[in-house]
Amino acid sequence: MIQLEHVWKTYPPNYRALRDINLEIDQGEFVYLVGASGAGKSTFLRLLFRAEEPSAGDIRVDGQSLAKLKSRGVAALRRKIGLVFQEFKLLANLTVVDNVALAAQVTGASQKESRSKAVNLLRELGLNDRHDAKPLALSGGEQQRVAIARALINDPILVLADEPTGNLDAEVADETMRLFAKIRAQGATIILATHDLGLVNRYGTRVISLRRGELADDLSRGESGSSAQ
């Protein structure tokens, strides 16, 4: 599903955010990406949805080399990926249902179809009665569920979440993690960056640890040692 070969990312003048990363992630895996602030977690995710390009090395997602993608290819790639961020990234002037439907509309789905799909997703995520509310009228947990609904509306093969529980209290964070587990059970690959090791211990299946841009550990649940590739 995802292959990284000798991937480096250097920012000017000479800051190495990622150093020679090699790994593979299979379809349907739930991967935690852990590490301290500045370890390179966000850079790792940004490379996967082509917000940035590696300074060296090759990244393949769903069999496609990201280096060869032009503007349209990048847009097509992102339609296959659901993105969830710590700061939700919802549009304040749109209603909850329109925020979710937006992601379907850009793929060419009609307004009616997109809204209907959004309404169903919001119902599944327990936001049945908040369709017409504006995001700022929602709690942090509700906003994150709206963001997750938006990430799921195009049936993504891959979900990338960057600190999705960073702004949530423990109870809501647990609820959100259960939601991700449910999404994974439906067949999507999930890569979730977090520095909350408590969450990792409770829900982790595979944990990739970054330290100063290097792959420090790659552990699967039940394994006791490092298996970095």
Partner 1 sequence: MKLSLLGFVLRRVGNSLHQLLWSHVLTTVTMAVALFVFGAFLLLQINLQQLLKGWGEQIQITAYLIKELSAADAENLRQRLGSLPDVAAIRYTSPAQAWRDFQSALGTQSGLLEGLPRDLLPASFEITLKPTYRDEPVVEDFTERLRKENAIASVEYPKEWVQRLSLIVLAVQWAKWIFGGLMFLATFIIVGSTVKLALVARRDEFEIMQLVGASEELIQAPFVIEGMIQGLTGAVLSVAALWGAFVLVQGEMPTLAAFLAPRSAPQFLDEWNILLVLAIGLLLGAAGSLFSLRRFIQTWKASASAS
Binding mask 82-121 for partner 1 (x = CB under 8 A): -x-----xxxxx--------xx-xxxxxxx----------
Six token digits for residue 109? 């789905």
Q: Which is nearer to partner 1, 162 or 218 (CB)?
A: 162
Question: Nearest approach, Cβ of 12 to partner 1 (angstroms)?
Answer: 8
- Report if residue 52 touches partner 1, rule: CB under 8 A: yes
At residue 184, the 3 state secondary structure works out as helix
Distance between alpha carbon 20 and the CA centroid of its chain, in Å?
22
DSSP state of 101: H
Residue closer to partner 1, measured from CB, 135 or 204: 135
Binding mask 140-169 for partner 1 (x = CB under 8 A): ----------x---x---------------
Give Cβ neighbours of residue 108 (< 8 Å, ≥ 6 apart): none
CA distances to 37, 52, 118, 205 from 212, rounded to whole Å, are: 9, 18, 39, 23
Structure tokens at 50: 């082509």
- Six-digit token pair at 101? 């439907």
Pattern 4-43, partner 1, x by CB under 8 A: -------x--------------------------------
Rg (CA), the chain: 17
Residues contributing to the site for partner 1 (CB under 8 A): 11, 49, 51-52, 71-72, 75-81, 83, 89-93, 102-103, 105-111, 150, 154
